[in-house]
Amino acid sequence: MGRFTGVLLASDFDNTLVYTEEALRSGAPVPPLSDGNRRALEAFMRQGGRFAVATGRALPAFSKYAPQIPMNAPAVVCNGAALYDFAAGVYLETAFLDADACLRGQAVLDRFPAVAVEAYHLDNVIYAVRPNDITRRHEHLTKVAVTQRQSLVEVPAPLGKLLLEADHETLEQVCAFLEEQGWSRDYELIFSGRELLEMTAAGAHKGGMVRRLADRLGISMAHVYCVGDEANDLSMLQAAAQGFAPANCVPAVRACGAQVVSHAREDALANVIRLLEQRYPA
């Protein structure tokens, strides 16, 4: 038993646990987990805490980094469409897109020629239709080459999510188009960056999967804490007993009531754990 027994901490990966924005923009290498964050996470776990990454990345896009991250709980991947146990090498929970998702996604591509899409198959394959510069930068960041297809109709099921890639103004038009068609109610449509629009099954988001993880671990949501920087983190920040955010977070995260700590480049997770030490004195 330790001071953090019965406590779950879940953190976003990109620009929260590790600051990857510069690598995305410049093509520079993705930096490693900082020593400060590593030491803090290892101490948190030694004192009984459970730590999980909750990322928008699909399994193949995160699995190359997972061995570098100290975790002792399954990871939320694919923006909440799945829960994966790296220790056992198995999916524990999945929420697939429906059979209409690819047809509707292709309708988006037909309507908006500037949009590219990545389709995340849960069998460790990322398909891409009409890849653009955003796709190629994303490939560099994830270290996973996409498998190209001419149409979304050619992409096999099951899919955890579609990732639509274009400038922000175009993606806002995509959201409006999906709403006009009456399709938006069937999906979660969440920005994970200004040029990235996530499309998952209705109810499949980080908040929902963190709740399932806490239930599996037998941990009350009164002792679940989440950290994130982007709009796709809002559901888990709002579900947590307290949400935290690095100083580089988007305005919507600041507005949701998350407690802002240091920049992701400055050991944000270590600073969150220091705050938790005040909540759970030894």
Domain containing 154 — which CATH number?
3.30.1240.10
Q: Which residues contact 67 (CB under 8 A, 6 or more apart)?
A: none
Across the beta sheet with 187-193, the strand order is 147-149, 125-129, 116-121, 159-165, 196-201, 187-193
Is 155 domain-assigned?
yes
Residue 244 φ then ψ, to 5°: -130, 155
Residue 1 pLDDT: 81
Residue 195 pLDDT: 95
- The answer on 17 and 47 residing in a single domain is yes
- The answer on 268 and 144 residing in a single domain is no
Instruction: Give the residue ranges of the chain where pLDDT is below 50.
Output: none
pLDDT tens, 30-47?
Answer: 999 999 999 999 999 999
From CA 208, how far away is CA 236, in angstroms rounded? 7
Q: Which residues contact 159 (CB under 8 A, 6 or more apart)?
A: 96, 97, 101, 102, 119, 120, 121, 122
From CA 110, how far away is CA 199, in angstroms rounded? 17
Question: Within 10 A of 170 (CB to CB), how many other CB atoms are there?
Answer: 16
CA atoms within 13 A on the CB side of 42: 9
pLDDT tens, 252-261?
Answer: 999 999 999 9
- The answer on 210 and 91 residing in a single domain is yes
Domain end, chosen from 201, 229, 249, is at 201
From CA 147, how far away is CA 176, in angstroms rounded? 29
Is 190 domain-assigned?
yes
Angle formed by the axes of helices 268-279 and 35-46, to 10°?
Answer: 30
Q: How far does the chain reach from its first CA to its final CA, in angstroms?
A: 11
- The answer on 255 and 176 residing in a single domain is no
Domain end, chosen from 166, 201, 236, is at 201
Instruction: Say if residues 80 and 235 touch (Cβ distance below 8 Å).
Output: yes
Query: Which residue is listed with tokens 């292709």?
Result: 106
From CA 219, how far away is CA 224, in angstroms rounded? 7
Q: What is the CATH classification number for the domain harbouring 240? A: 3.40.50.1000
From CA 258, how far away is CA 255, in angstroms rounded? 7
Is 164 domain-assigned?
yes
Domain end, chosen from 177, 201, 225, is at 201
Cis amide leading into 113 (omega within 30) = no
- The answer on 260 and 123 residing in a single domain is no
- Structural domains of the chain, count: 2
DSSP assignment, residue 73? S
| Residue-range definition of the domain harbouring residue 161 | 101-201
Is 177 domain-assigned?
yes
Beta-bridge mates of residue 188: 200
Burial 65-86 (b: 16+ CB within 10 A, else e): bbeebebebbbbbbbbbbbbeb
Residue 139 pLDDT: 86
Is 2 domain-assigned?
no
Residue 124 pLDDT: 79
- The answer on 137 and 112 residing in a single domain is yes
Question: Within 10 A of 206 (CB to CB), how many other CB atoms are there?
Answer: 30
Residue 247 pLDDT: 98
Instruction: Say if residues 125 and 160 touch (Cβ distance below 8 Å).
Output: no
